[in-house]
Structure 1
Amino acid sequence: MGSPFGIGAPARLTGKAVKGTEQSLMSTLRPHFSSAGFKHGARLAVPAFPGFIMFALAFGAAAAQKGLSLGETLGLSAFVYAGASQMVGLEIWQKVWTPSTILTIITVTAVVNVRMILLGATLQPWLRDEPKLRSALNLFLLTEAGWIISTRYHSEGGRDVGILLGSAAILYVVWLGATLAGYFAGAFVPDPRRFGLDLVMPVFFSIMLVPLWKGVRPALPWLVAGLVSLVVHALVPGYLFIAAGALAGVVAGMLIE
């Protein structure tokens, strides 16, 4: 009779070891949250600081020049927290509000921010098992820069949701601090255009497009949206060019796909 510690035993032990290894690997592939991931996400966001700081400085300075109070300026940055919408909102900002101007600013900012629906949807597989409160915080703090950092990490096999929240949280703090500095600097900059601060927004978004480049074909909707926006802006007064460019880009993307 064979010994219970014969050839079969190592095979069984090996099988159990392999199964344990597979379970351990699967657990690391599941979305999870850790403080170490939070800290690492904050470090990954450092390269985005210059763009965020310049954008927020420009907004703070422009808000001061527009006549907004410090509370109104910080409130926009803290609760709206959408640089492009904040800049567009300043263009429409009125000292005396009417129903038509309120409707205009709601419509324009909604169109500018509609992209966040798509960015948030791409995070659903990552956040679906997260606590609702933390998911809501992640989605509130979502920006293009944080999204790029996190999705790149996710595409490389990472599953720590702390990366998403850590990068988002540090960028939020930087945004508020730079807005505050920009507001006080605005008192010393009588004409922001003289220093090229009005170019911060287009330059920032142009740079943000670089990591998203995946070839000519996927970039065609960007080109169509840009051209349509320029044409409509030249022909039609107001802010219709924003909606026209967005819709043209969506239609072009659907036709290409």
Structure 2
Amino acid sequence: MPSTHIAKAPAYWSKAAIVPGIIAIGPMLPGTLAFGMAFGALCAQKNFSLAEVIVMMGTVYGGLSQFVAVQSWPSVLTPGTIATLALLTLTVNVRFMLMSATLRPWFGTLPSWQAYPSMLLVTDGGWLAAMRYRDHGGADAWFYVGGGIVLYLVWLVAAIPGFVLAEQLTDPKKYGVDLVMPAFYAAMLVPAWKGPRRAIPWVVSGIVALVVHWLAAGWWFIIAGALSGAISAGLMDEPEPRHPVGAAA
């Protein structure tokens, strides 16, 4: 049976893709802004300085992992508490390693000094937009990088008004800010849907996380959910491809 696989073009740089890339991530900007403001307010409540918040936003760029780290920030830093924060951050951010790996067939055709710095811009929303673009045959690296830079800049400045208005944001439920994170990740599942079978690890991860959250205090439910989902996905066999009746073997 002849293959229907279409080879994708290697990556290249053209300014023509910058605006389409920004338009593609446009719907994510309001959520990113609200997410960043909520993080700035959280930092103010944890007695961080504005300078510390800006440095973290500019250098860490971890989104959810920053929330987890700051929410569990201890009153006194010890080797043990630092190791715990590092483990939590690694667990939450390990998905970026997998996302970067899926971009290698595209960006791997570029020189290393161009490809690897581009991976610093990997985010959940930016990755989804880039993969959709790539699946439709796109190859211009500026589509991904241009949108990623805009997301980064919005995230960088979003914490400032949140920090300044922390007193007004002490109750996130009042403005619906507490819904931003779950709504964003729930929306991400829609384009990632590949059928009921591929959703089994999602279900396993969610159930394990809920059970651990009920049984144990702290952030262990994140680690347990991530590990159980990854293990269940790894144990699943890929279904055999179906061939049309009468097709040559």
TM-score, structure 1 length as denominator? 0.84
Higher Rg of the two aligned structures: 1
Aligned AA (1:125): P
> 2:100 aligned with 1:100, yes or no?
no
Gaps of 5+ in 2: 1-5, 238-249
Using the TM superposition, name which of 118-127 and 231-240 deviates more. Answer: 231-240
CA–CA separation in structure 1 for the residues paired with 2:8 and 2:77: 53
Report matched runs for 1:76-91 at 5 Å.
76-91=56-71
| Partner residue, 2:12 | 32
Give, in angstroms, the shift of residue 97 of structure 1: 0.8
CA deviations 1:203-248 (Å, max 9, x no partner) are: 2211222221122111110111010001011112222211111111
CA–CA separation in structure 2 for the residues paired with 1:189 and 1:29: 47
| Partner residue, 2:156 | 176
Aligned residue for 2:140, secondary structure, equals coil
CA–CA separation in structure 2 for the residues paired with 1:201 and 1:105: 20
Question: What is the identity percentage for the equivalent residue pairs of Structure 1 and Structure 2?
Answer: 42
The answer to whether the 8 Å contact 2:40/2:163 transfers is yes
> 2:222 aligned with 1:242, yes or no?
yes
Aligned AA (2:219): Y
| Partner residue, 1:199 | 179
Aligned residue for 2:166, secondary structure, equals helix
Using the TM superposition, name which of 200-209 and 67-76 deviates more. Answer: 200-209
The answer to whether the 8 Å contact 1:228/1:241 transfers is yes
The answer to whether the 8 Å contact 2:41/2:170 transfers is no
Aligned residue for 2:91, secondary structure, equals helix
Using the TM superposition, name which of 136-145 and 104-113 deviates more. Answer: 136-145
> 2:17 aligned with 1:43, yes or no?
no
The answer to whether the 8 Å contact 1:62/1:192 transfers is no
Give, in angstroms, the shift of residue 196 of structure 1: 3.8
| Root mean square deviation of aligned Cα | 1.9
Gaps of 5+ in 1: 1-25
Structure whose residues are more often helix by fraction: 1
Aligned residue for 1:48, secondary structure, equals helix
**Size of the alignment, in residue pairs?**
232
Aligned residue for 1:213, secondary structure, equals coil
| Partner residue, 2:203 | 223
Aligned AA (1:253): A
Partner of residue 186 from structure 1, selected from 161, 166, 182:
166
CA–CA separation in structure 2 for the residues paired with 1:212 and 1:27: 22
Q: Describe the shift of the 1:214–1:28 C-alpha distance in structure 2 as closer, same or farther (beyond 3 A).
A: closer
The answer to whether the 8 Å contact 1:92/1:101 transfers is no
CA deviations 1:129-165 (Å, max 9, x no partner) are: 2232322221111101110011000000111111110
